[in-house]
Chains A and B, each alone.
Chain A
């Protein structure tokens, strides 16, 4: 600690250089943190899927519906304990930028299969008895200031669901979850009765996806195969997979994007490493004489090396902390950015976690250490007589 003033004074002397290095480092850490946060949110969503739930959908595309009668056939299969239709409605509330997920489900079965969707008993009873009723997640309610009893209108952008006028819904309940038991549960969606959609469209729509609850997760492979085989000679082939696999496929594009951004992040980190290393090299080169003086006074080569490394580590630490602060601020406003925010809102739990913040600091310190190593080694090796002769 007694050497700290010496380190700090050097950083303060060239404050413009220090500031620019810290800013460069912070941009790098900010990028890494934001990226890791998005990836963590995606992964968190994936892991939230139950191992006892399968998802059956049209083999060709999610845009195609499956015939309604598939539900009865699948429900009758051995190992299947429950089913519910879950159809993406694509409803828009006033403006496309108000995007949120809204899905048509079979309320009773849905609440049985998804125990993480928790409703007060009176709200549950109200929803089950109201065909126009809808339940919304707590975060969605907070976002739009909706409360139980509010009436809302949504108009779908999906052609079969467009009936010439918006759909009227009544908010019958606001669902929440037990974060400890069901981490990653989405609280930003709306669910309403499939029957309402079915009737309003003249009974012309089919099943978007069918969630199939099974008796034993170890039977998932066999049951999935059985379901798909049952319809392999029909007009609508099916694709059945675990809920986790379904979600993983759904976010594959996001995964590829994350990979791309990871590569970009690494490139930025490497560039920052070079910039910082260059800055440190210049700083040490300018101080050759001073290093020689310190050694003359009795500072060991190891101590001089440690002082230079401390400077580099301090630069890293400052850059890391600033980067984390920026990341925290940016992540909190990202969900309000048009279009990008709509995508990000689909991922619950989006926030800078302590582990990612620690990772950011770790990377910043590692960058500082790497950047300072060669200059520190140069200082370590500097011969007093040669350095003094350069005066």
Chain B
């Protein structure tokens, strides 16, 4: 095992010399250009930068929902590069929680069912799944809304349900793509409070993409991306 690999296993996220190229028709677009990033365990990092700078692409690579063209991505002690699609899916279900800008709750499921969704992939019994989902909802302050459908919730409440869904499997890493981008300032503050709580009290490593300087100010570290390269 090389020294970099040992280091990767100790940090929560280690992106090593990653290049990501998209093919658009005959054109090749290089979104990330030899990027290196290390996020230590328990860090709350904000990724900032202009549109098209590669923030979301980097987040997708860390979350294991996209693959690097070259380079290595280590997350929670696993090198994601050689994993098959199936292995990657299994890895995601156990190691990473994803928070979307537009919440992305399943409209036909109520709050507790939405939170329970990732647990369907576990070996837990129905009762255990439901208990864990309710606990997650309690943590985000929505125990009394467990039977409400997404359409019956406010934007802030929807995002809190989405956060409960992201943490219900107790993943090591949370990735958030503009989690406050669709919320009013009060709801945004509540969401950021929650994320900070998860970071401080539960030791979750958080990587958050944001345009909002106020949101970024909640993070321990702010990194800036420009044209696929970290500038600060």
Contact = CB atoms under 8 A, between A and B. Distances in A.
Interface band, chain B? 20 to 34
A302 B86 contact: yes
A299 B86 contact: no
Contact of B108 (A9, A292, A293, A302): A9
A6 interface: yes
A302 to B, nearest CB: 7
Contacts of A290: 104, 106-107
Contacts of A289: 104
Nearest to B63: A296
A27 to B, nearest CB: 27
B126 A2 contact: yes
A298 B89 contact: yes
Q: Secondary structure of the A side of the interface?
A: helix
B109 interface: yes
Interface residues of A, number: 25
Interface in B171-218: none
Interface centre among A299, A300, A391 (most CB of B within 10 A): A300
A301 B63 CA distance: 17
B65 A385 contact: yes
B109 A6 contact: yes
Contacts of A2: 120, 126
Given A13-B108, A296-B92, A385 B120 contact: no
Given A295-B65, A298-B89, A301-B89, A13 B118 contact: no
A62 B123 CA distance: 74
Interface string A279-294: 0000000000110111
A292 B60 CA distance: 12
A5 B113 contact: yes
A299 to B, nearest CB: 7
A388 interface: yes
A385 B66 contact: yes
Interface of B: 60, 63, 65-66, 85-86, 89-94, 98, 100, 102, 104, 106-109, 113, 117-118, 120-121, 126, 165
A293 B63 CA distance: 12
Interface string A294-332: 111111111000000000000000000000000000000
A12 B107 CA distance: 12
B89 A299 contact: yes
B93 A298 contact: yes
Q: Secondary structure of the B side of the interface?
A: helix
Given A9-B108, A9-B109, A384 B86 contact: no
B31 to A, nearest CB: 11
Contacts of A296: 63, 65, 92, 98
Given A293-B100, A293-B104, A298-B89, 9 more contacts: A2-B126, A9-B108, A9-B109, A297-B118, A298-B90, A299-B121, A301-B89, A385-B66, A388-B100
A168 B230 CA distance: 108
A81 B129 CA distance: 80
Nearest to A3: B120
Contacts of B117: 6, 294, 297
A9 B106 CA distance: 10
6 contacts: A12-B108, A294-B117, A296-B98, A298-B89, A298-B91, A301-B85
A289 B86 CA distance: 19
B222 to A, nearest CB: 24
Contacts of B63: 296
A298 to B, nearest CB: 2
A304 B118 CA distance: 13
A204 interface: no
A2 B123 CA distance: 11
Contacts of A297: 92-93, 98, 117-118, 121, 165
Contacts of B90: 298, 300
Contacts of B107: 13, 290
Interface in A67-120: none
A2 B165 CA distance: 17
A388 B59 CA distance: 13
